[in-house]
Chain A
Amino acid sequence: MPISHIMASGMTGIRAAGDLVARMEFSKNMRIGEAKEYVAKKLGVDIPALTDEHVMRELREELDIGIITSVPGAAKGIAAKMNIEKLLGVRINSCERFRGQLS
C-alpha cells in the first residue's frame, strides 16, 4: 500500500527531490507549493524537474547530496546531509550532533 501511494502521488525521495521538499515542509512549515518553489530555486531547476529522475539523478550526484546507488567517493549518509544543509540553508539535527562530536 505505501508503494501504491508513492507510485500514485509521491515525489520518490532521493530518486528525485522528495526528501528536499519534505525537509522544507517540516523545517519551515512551508505548504507544498512554497516548498517546491523554494527547492526548485535552490537547485536551479523548474518545478516539474523536482520529480524528474533523469534530471535529478545527475544533479544530485553533481551537488553530492546523495543518490540511490553506490558511486565510489560520493557523499552518503551524514556527509550527503551536510551538503543538503548548505544547499537548502537549513540545519539538520544529525549533522549538528556529528559536528558536536568532532574534536
Chain B
Amino acid sequence: MATEYALRMGDGKRIYLTKEEILSEIEAGSSNASDLGEIPELSADEIDKLAEILMMPGKAVSVEQGMEVPVTHDIGTIRLDGDQGNSGVGIPSSRLVGCMTHERAFGADTMELGHIDYSFKPVKPVVSNECQAMEVCQQNMIIPLFYGAMPNMGLYYTPDGPFENPGDLMKMFKIDKARESMEHAAEHLTRDTVWVMQKLFASGADGVNFDTTAAAGDADMYGTLRAVEILRAQFPDIYIEVGMAGEMVLGMHGELEYDEVRLAGLWPHEQAPLVAKAGANVFGPVCNTNTSKTSAWNLARAVTFIRATVEASSIPCHVNMGMGVGGIPMLETPPIDAVTRASKAMVEIAGVDGI
C-alpha cells in the first residue's frame, strides 16, 4: 500500500494523499494560476520542493535558517480585543497592551493600530481618539507601528453612505448612473483616507496599511491608489503598504484606469507595478483559497501567482497569508501544519520579501 501523507482541504479538513496524488494536485493548481494569469507554471524542481514541504513529517515546519523574512500584521490589536465571530478573540485589553504584547511577547516585526470597525470612513468622527492612541503607543513601541484600515468603499453607498448603491442601479440597467455613483464614492474614499492619515501622521504613525484594497471593485482600487499618490507627495518619508482584498480586481465599473492601465481584471503581478507607481513602499498580493480543493492545489496555485508578482514588482512584496488566502485554509483557526507549510513555501519558492 502506498504511503499516504496528511494534508488539508481548503476548508481545513484533514485528508490523506499519496505522493503521486500530491504531485498531481500541485501540477493542477499551478496550471490553473498559469492559465488565468498568463504566467509561467512552477518548474519541475519547484514542484518537487513544494511536494517535499507538504510531505514533511513534523506538525510545524519552518524556513531554512537565514531565510527568515519580516512578518507584518494587519487588523491591529483587534486580533486580541475584538470579537465579531471572526478572527478576534475578545480579550479585554487596551490597544497599547495589544501593541506591546505583539512587540514583546509575540515577536512581531511590525504592528499596527486600527479602529474597531477597521475601515477609514468610521474613523472620521473619532479621529482625535485614534491620534491619542497612536501617540501613546508610539511613545512605548520600538517596532514600526502603522495605522491600518480598510478602504471599504461599500460604506459610501446606500443605506450606509450618501451615494446610490450601484448594485441596485445595475439591476435597473442604469449602468451609467451606477458608474457615476462609484466614481463619486472613489473621490470621497480618497478624500477621507487622506484626511484621516494626515492626522495620524501628525501624531507619529510610522505609516499606513491599506488593507483589503479593491474589496468593492476597481473604483475602490482607483480611490486607494489616488490616496497613496497624494499621501506620498505630502509625506515623502512615510511608510505605505497596500494589501489587496482578492486575487483579481473585480470590474464593478469596468472602465476606470490608473496610469493608462484598466484596473478591472488585473491579477496580482499586474497590480504590483501600479501600486509601486502610486508611491507605496510594500505591496501585499493576495491569492484566494478554494475550499473545495486540497492544500496542495491551493498552495501551488498561490505560490505560482505570488512568485510571478515578486518578479514583476519593483517594491518588496509581503504576501497576504491570513485565513482563506495565500494557500491558508479558510477557517478561523487555520491548522498550524497548513499555515507553517504555506509560510515556508512562500518564502523558499515564491521568494517573498515578507508576510
Question: Which A residues are within 8 Å of any B CB, using their own CB?
Answer: 1-15, 18-19, 21-23, 25-27, 29-32, 35, 47-48, 50-51, 65-66, 68, 76-78, 80-81, 84, 91-94, 97-98
Jot down 20 A-B pairs with beta carbons below 8 A, ordered by A.
A1-B323, A4-B334, A4-B336, A8-B63, A9-B62, A10-B69, A10-B109, A10-B355, A19-B110, A22-B110, A25-B353, A26-B144, A27-B237, A32-B316, A48-B65, A51-B66, A77-B141, A77-B142, A93-B238, A98-B204
**Interface size, chain B (Cβ < 8 Å):** 63
The residue of chain B having its C-beta at the shortest distance from the C-beta of A69 within the complex is B104
Within 8 Å by CB of B339, from A8, A11, A93, lies A8
A10–B105 Cα gap in the complex (Å)? 14
Q: Which residues of B contact A80 (CB under 8 A)?
A: 142
* Inter-subunit contact A8/B107 (CB<8 Å): no
In the complex, which of the residues B281, B344, B347 contacts A25, with contact meaning CB atoms closer than 8 Å? B281
Complex contact A91–B237 (CB within 8 A)? yes
Q: Evaluate contact between A25 and B354: CB separation under 8 angstroms.
A: yes
B72 neighbours in A (Cβ, 8 Å) = 22
B interface with A by C-beta (< 8 Å): 60-63, 65-73, 79, 103-110, 138-145, 201-207, 237-239, 241, 281-282, 314-316, 321-323, 328, 333-334, 336, 339-340, 343-344, 346-347, 352-355
Whether A9 pairs with B69 at a CB distance below 8 angstroms is yes
**Chain A residues within 8 Å of B79, by CB:** 2
Q: How far is the CB of A15 from chain B (nearest CB, A)?
A: 5
Give Cα A97–Cα B201 distance, bound, in whole angstroms: 9
Whether A9 contacts B343 in the complex (CB less than 8 A), given A26-B241, A77-B140, comes out as yes
Say yes or no: A5 contacts B316, CB within 8 Å: no
The answer to whether A27 touches B107, judged by C-beta atoms less than 8 angstroms apart, is no
Q: How many A-B residue pairs have CB under 8 A?
A: 175
Give the residue among B61, B144, B339, B344 with the most A Cβ atoms within 10 A: B144
Q: Are B144 and A1 in contact (CB under 8 A)?
A: no
The reply to whether B139 and A97 form a contact with Cβ atoms under 8 Å apart is no
B204 touches A93 (CB 8 A): yes
Query: How far is it, in angstroms, between the C-alpha of A27 and the C-alpha of B282 when the chains are bound?
Result: 10
B68–A10 CB distance below 8 A: yes
Of A14, A21, A26, chain B has the most CB atoms within 10 Å of the CB of A26
Which B-chain residue is minimally distant from A14 (CB atoms)? B142
Asked whether B343 lies within 8 Å of A66 as measured between CB atoms, the reply is no
> In the complex the two chains form, is A13's CB within 8 Å of B107's CB?
yes
When chains A and B are docked, how far (Å) is the Cα of A32 from the Cα of B104? 23
**Contacts A13-B103, A29-B281, A31-B353; is A93 near B237 (CB within 8 Å)?**
yes
Q: Find B316's partner among A7, A19, A25, A51 (CB 8 Å cutoff).
A: A25
Q: Which residues of B contact A14 (CB under 8 A)?
A: 103-104, 142-143
